[in-house]
A and B are shown apart, each in its own frame.
Chain A
């Protein structure tokens, strides 16, 4: 055992070695670890703890194997002891090493995950897993993503989750490439994982009331490709309608890229939501109230009650915002006469004072630019008037937002280029091109002139300095 520990500590041989050398060492190391029986690994050395000797950031693989062996062999209470070490490990491990032992790593995370959920303390896992995700390439989807969001939803730590979901995914682990080494035993990522991730991400943003981003993530789930429609997608679509109401006051359209199967399923299965949205958009409180009484059960069944209640609360606010376009001044009495209160909570909130309070809140949150004025010092006789200001000329604000957007699009463009290049060199595409060339004989161009699926509203200069030459060379190499 001492020898083993020495060996563990002797890896990697030095902190600065070349990539290929490191890879070789990792492979050797792994084969040794895989050979070593779990009992040996889990053995508690007299007096000294193996894990205390190992540094998780340097000897990550050994640390990982020992941890897993202990959990596997230990009883229920093994976790009680080990979880602190798992946390340390997750916060400091070396991603290069761990990437080669994905299956073991996943086992560790899975047992950790079930431990924290069973013990009802999901919150302790959030920080370490978040760090773990950031340690790997956070733009690449991994099995950690949906797990993490689930934890966050359970612990209601939406802010923590937002740090991860703010990063846009650009990559998914490739299932079809032959690059996977002996670690193929790892359960592959399925479309369900991805869809749940999108749904959860949408829900996280709903939690922090970022409706726009929530809608974006739900859209990803809605337009997911395929030849069937998943229940997850349908749930996403139902939420999408409600989020649309909160965002825009009307239901957002189904994106055009949606598959026809899914499209049909959405239309068939979310009728109640559509009619709710129609009533909401019509701006008729009476209609909305009758809709709501009919739909209470539907919302409860789909677990969307909270969202629906928020819609109803938003209804009055949106109607008041809409008044801005019609009136310069209006008394609160007039507004409360419009009877916009639809949450059905009763009490005074629908009355004059309630309306005034709502408007005051809206002004404070800068949802609307307006001011209130009382006509008389005595509140009994006073008439409160709302004065809607003109749209403020927030030029600097707009310009700053434009700058941010510009940067985002530039990043996107870069990502797009790298993907473009990667796919351009992929075997499938080249095979396709060869096939097209053969089929159409000399006129390759005809094959290329297919209508673009990517029907952006306007074209963007992708191709200023496209490295076609490099692609060509690679292509020749490939042959």
Chain B
């Protein structure tokens, strides 16, 4: 199956288009992995895996098509079939099911019509509750049949007909789900904030919090704000379990949270906020590899930590939410490791450092140069003696330099403003073809106020008394 030339052709094309292609096999088993999820995200994930991983492509697509047949999502069925056709003709022939497409399309069309008619009649009757439900039904229907834009529109229309806070929460949760699938994280964020601002009972709170935390975390992850994302995921209560499978599993929370924490937190923070976090421990237990990596990082065994992460790299790359950030995450984990490693030293040989990070000196040196250039590492390289030495800082001199700079800057700025003011005062403005005298006067008045910077109020008061 792997020798299939069509598959090779497809992926070399994809690679040249700039799409990431993961050659190695991931650590997970596709069936088990996908069964952890529910709803649309199953198919999304399958298609993502199929388009990025040559060995799993055909299997994934077949599975996706099988699952799609149980839904009414015709556009996606077609999409999956198209990709499959490019990869393997025989399998596509086998999966082709015109009758199903025909039948389902017809059903979707008629259902849409029916629900829209219902909605219209509700609108005639002007009963808010019915209209809301009508919109929701239509939204759900469109969502199920693959029209995400339409679905989101329907959910947004519900807003005007919400009478209780509960309704708003429901609507927002629906919208969040759709938006996460669309990758429209700005809207996700606004909806999360909206729900958080609503007052609600403790039970409801308990039910919603995990989902909100996760949604927020995903938003922050998408924005590349790893620290905030780590916090959101770490805050997530273990009650999440499998309640939000249409978006995320508990395993994912452990992975995302762990990676973001590794990329953004200090070693002590990792200990107190991640490893000793009672709630998050429940998640970490699901992902022992992640826990091991964090423990290794905390105990300063950077090379072991990095090798564990490197082993799981393929898994991360095939994750629908994570794949875009893997490189940046790894990079920041690595450079943070280097910084943390270097803290206790004033001087360290490049060779021992290269050993600790499992690379050769040359690559390490390049990496260090980049990091120093970015200001991430406060050190200098001694290429002759192959050493990395910490910079000595002289605070006193630094303060002096700073003071001098501030003073000079101040003088320069003051002179500039003074010059400008004087020019206005003397009527030396740059003028276009025609000059107006009123301009000059206004200018003087303006410049005048400026010259009173410090004591204008005081003088003003004096004048006031005089009047």
A-to-B contact residues, CB < 8 Å:
168-176, 189-191, 194-195, 216, 219-220, 223-230, 233, 255, 257, 262, 325-331, 334, 385, 387-388, 390-391, 393-395, 398-399, 401-402, 405-406, 408-409, 412, 415-416, 419-420, 423-424, 426, 428-429, 432-434, 437, 442, 444-445, 447-450, 452-454, 456-463, 466, 468, 471-472, 475
Contacts and interface: CB of A to CB of B under 8 A. Distances in A.
Interface string B9-43: 00000000000000000000000000000000000
A406 B407 contact: yes
B1 interface: no
Given A175-B426, A194-B423, A462 B453 contact: yes
A468 B384 contact: no
A409 B410 CA distance: 9
A468 B466 CA distance: 12
A420 B452 contact: yes
Contacts of B411: 405, 408-409, 412
The 7 closest A-B pairs by CB, nearest first: A226-B430, A448-B460, A226-B429, A462-B454, A444-B464, A228-B432, A463-B455
Given A172-B428, A216-B415, A327 B400 contact: no
Nearest to A174: B426
A169 B444 CA distance: 18
Contacts of A325: 372, 380
Contacts of A334: 383
Interface in B411-467: 411-432, 439-441, 443-464, 466-467
25 contacts: A190-B428, A191-B431, A194-B423, A195-B430, A219-B412, A219-B416, A220-B416, A224-B420, A225-B430, A227-B431, A257-B417, A327-B383, A329-B384, A330-B383, A391-B397, A398-B404, A405-B411, A412-B411, A429-B445, A429-B448, A445-B457, A448-B457, A457-B413, A463-B454, A466-B459
A331 B404 contact: no
Given A405-B408, A454-B417, A172 B425 contact: yes
B284 interface: no
A142 B397 CA distance: 42
Contacts of B460: 433, 444-445, 447-448
Contacts of B424: 225
Given A385-B384, A391-B394, A462-B455, 16 more contacts: A169-B422, A175-B426, A190-B428, A194-B428, A224-B420, A224-B429, A227-B432, A326-B369, A329-B383, A329-B384, A387-B384, A394-B397, A424-B459, A433-B460, A434-B467, A472-B466
A189 B430 contact: no
Contacts of A454: 417, 450-451, 453
Contacts of A216: 412, 415-416
A225 B420 contact: yes
Interface stretch (B51-59, B117-125, B385-393): B385-393
Contacts of A442: 464
Q: Give the interface SS of chain B, mostly helix, strand, loop or mixed.
A: helix
A478 to B, nearest CB: 12
Nearest to A172: B426
A326 B413 contact: no
Contacts, number: 235
A255 B71 CA distance: 62
B407 A405 contact: yes
A172 B380 contact: no
Contact of A169 (B389, B419, B431, B463): B419
B311 interface: no
Nearest to B387: A328
A172 B419 CA distance: 9
A328 B381 contact: yes
Contacts of A262: 430
B454 to A, nearest CB: 4
Contacts of A170: 418, 422
B382 interface: yes
A393 B397 contact: yes
B397 A468 contact: no
Given A331-B383, A409-B407, A445-B464, A423 B451 contact: yes
B78 interface: no
A191 B419 CA distance: 13
Contact of A172 (B369, B417, B422, B463): B422
Contacts of A459: 453-454
Contact of A398 (B381, B401, B406, B464): B401
Given A168-B415, A424-B452, A449-B457, A399 B400 contact: yes
B462 A461 contact: no
Given A191-B423, A216-B415, A328 B432 contact: no
Contacts of A402: 400, 403-404, 407
Contacts of A174: 425-426
Contacts of A398: 397, 400-401, 404
Contacts of A433: 460, 463
A228 B454 contact: no
B5 to A, nearest CB: 40
A309 B382 CA distance: 33
A456 B414 contact: yes
Contacts of A401: 404
B425 A423 contact: yes
A456 B445 contact: no
Contact of A432 (B400, B416, B431, B445): B445
A460 to B, nearest CB: 7
A175 B430 contact: no
B190 interface: no
Contacts of A412: 411, 414-415, 418
B145 to A, nearest CB: 50
Contacts of A434: 467
Contacts of B397: 391, 393-395, 398
A428 B445 contact: yes
Nearest to B407: A405
B373 interface: yes
A219 B381 CA distance: 39
Given A423-B448, A423-B451, A424-B452, A223 B420 contact: yes
B366 to A, nearest CB: 11
Of the candidates B407, B424, B443, the one having the most CB atoms from chain A within 10 angstroms of its own CB is B407
B409 interface: yes
